[in-house]
Structure 1
């Protein structure tokens, strides 16, 4: 993602920030910068309804898809118990589950902010298409692993039946016929 961010002309990511600490401030060595340069073919080889993948989506469809994709990933992949079952847990487990639920709620709010910020800051379409695709593949992979590969074994309950053994000519030593 950081490579695609650099190819899209956005050199403000975490890798660029970290590399700024090890780059020299000498203008003579600026030509040997660690930053990726913008890829010009992204400007004229578009995809879908985007002729320019370096431009942002002015319609707001991609930021909306991005928000929905990340929300789907968080809500499907991050299982937390319902509120009414948390109260019946032991105290330490209850605090742990409340922390997970609060963290999940924070991530949901952060996801909405990511979608809004990507729309207002005109995040390049190439970066949003990559992020949407990556998130949806991760969500699908999580769903397949949870439901198809590592699905819990569903055992059928045993049907309780009473069986009586009778031999011809036996005198019912335990007097089972009288109990019926």
Structure 2
């Protein structure tokens, strides 16, 4: 993702920020290449879907909305938490842990809405949003397949219930049930 961010001309990622500490100041007369990637010009000429320029933002707002829905779907489907009403009945340490997880999930949901809004307002490059939407949807699909198909909670009956009786040849009542009455 950081490579695609650099190729799209958006050098505001965490890798670019960390490399700014070790990268010497760039001299305009120098021909040395910086540590971060430069813009890939073919992204401006060769589009995808209804976008002729993958370096521009989406003016319709469809991609930021799809990005928000994709991330929300991933968080809501993949991050299982105990409902708030059931947390109080848990043991003390488990209650604290589940409260932290549920609160963290709620924070991530709010952060997801902010990501969608900020990507629209700041004009995040279309190439980056298409990558992020695709990556999130593949991760969500992978989570669904693993939960429902691979590690499903199907009951497997390994044993067939049978009754066993010990009977001697010629004995009508081996456990002498008739004599117990």
Alpha-carbon distance in 1 for matches of 2:92, 2:151? 30
| CA deviation after TM superposition for structure 1 residue 52, in Å | 0.4
- RMSD of the TM alignment (CA)? 2.7
Match of 1:136 in 2: 137
Q: Tell me what 1:115 maps to.
A: 116
Q: Distance in 2 between matches of 1:172 and 1:151?
A: 47
Q: Cα deviations across residues 28-75 of structure 1 (Å, max 9, x unaligned)?
A: 657320010100000010011100000000000000000000000000
The 1:83–1:17 alpha-carbon spacing in structure 2 relative to 1, beyond 3 Å, is same
Superimposed CA distance per residue, residues 1-26 of structure 1 (whole angstroms, 9 cap, x where no aligned partner): 00000000111111111101111125
Aligned ranges 1:128-167 → 2 under 5 Å: 128-154=129-155
TM score, norm. by length of structure 2? 0.85
Partner-residue secondary structure (3-state), 2:130: helix
> Which residue of 2 is the match for residue 18 of structure 1?
18
Q: Return closer, same or farther for 1:161/1:32 CA change in 2, 3 Å cut-off.
A: closer
TM-score normalised by the chain length of structure 1: 0.86
Which residue of 2 is the match for residue 72 of structure 1? Answer: 73
Q: 1:37 — aligned with what?
A: 38
Paired with 2:44 and 2:172, the residues of 1 have a C-alpha distance of: 97
Change (3 A) 1:81 1:154: farther
Name the residue aligned to 2:97: 96
SS at match of 2:94: helix
Task: Report the counterpart of residue 6 of structure 1 in structure 2.
Answer: 6
The residue aligned with 1:82 is: 83
Q: Secondary structure at the match of 1:39?
A: coil
State the shift of 1:166 in Å: 10
Gaps of 5+ in 1: none
